[in-house]
Amino acid sequence: MDCPKCKDVKLRRNGYGSPDSCQKCGGMWLEFAKIPGFFEQISFEEPKEFSVNVNDGKTGFCPSGHGLMTRAKVEDNESPFYLEKCSSCGGVWFDKDEWQRIIENNLVECLSDIWCSSWQTQQRKEKSRNSYLKTNKNIFGEEVFEKILELAELLKGHHEKGRAIALLQEEIKE
Q: How high does pLDDT run on average in the chain? A: 83
Q: What is each CA distance from 59 to 42, 48, 78, 113, 126, in whole angstroms?
A: 26, 25, 21, 19, 25
18/43 same-domain check: yes
Q: What is the mean pLDDT of residues 78-84?
A: 87
Q: What is the mean pLDDT of residues 24-39?
A: 72
Q: What is the mean pLDDT of residues 112-130?
A: 89
Number of other residues whose CB lies within 10 A of the CB of residue 92: 24
What's residue 17's pLDDT?
60
Q: What is the mean pLDDT of residues 113-127?
A: 89
DSSP label of 75: -
Give Dmax over CA atoms of the chain in angstroms. 73
CB 121 within 8 A of CB 112: no
What's residue 56's pLDDT?
63
CB 59 within 8 A of CB 7: no
59/130 same-domain check: no
Banded model confidence at residue 34, pLDDT cuts 50, 70, 90: low
- The answer, yes or no, to whether residue 41 has pLDDT greater than 80, is no
With respect to residue 57, please indicate whether it lies within any of the assigned structural domains.
yes
Highest mean pLDDT: which range of 44-58, 85-99, 141-155: 141-155
- The answer, yes or no, to whether residue 38 has pLDDT greater than 90, is no
What's residue 94's pLDDT?
93
With respect to residue 5, please indicate whether it lies within any of the assigned structural domains.
no
22/107 same-domain check: yes
With respect to residue 7, please indicate whether it lies within any of the assigned structural domains.
no
CA separation for the pair 64, 23 (Å, rounded)? 18
Looking at 94, 115, 136, which one is the last position of a domain? 115
With respect to residue 138, please indicate whether it lies within any of the assigned structural domains.
yes
Range of the domain at 111: 12-115
CB 24 within 8 A of CB 48: no
**In the chain, pLDDT over 70 holds for what percent of residues?**
81
Is beta strand 12-13 parallel, antiparallel or unpaired with respect to 28-30? Answer: unpaired
CA separation for the pair 42, 100 (Å, rounded)? 10
For the chain, the domain total comes to 2
41/103 same-domain check: yes
With respect to residue 66, please indicate whether it lies within any of the assigned structural domains.
yes
SS (H, E, C) 95-111: CCCHHHHHHHCCCCCCH
Instruction: Describe the chain by its helix, strand, coil percentages, rounded to 5.
Output: 40, 15, 45
Banded model confidence at residue 46, pLDDT cuts 50, 70, 90: very low
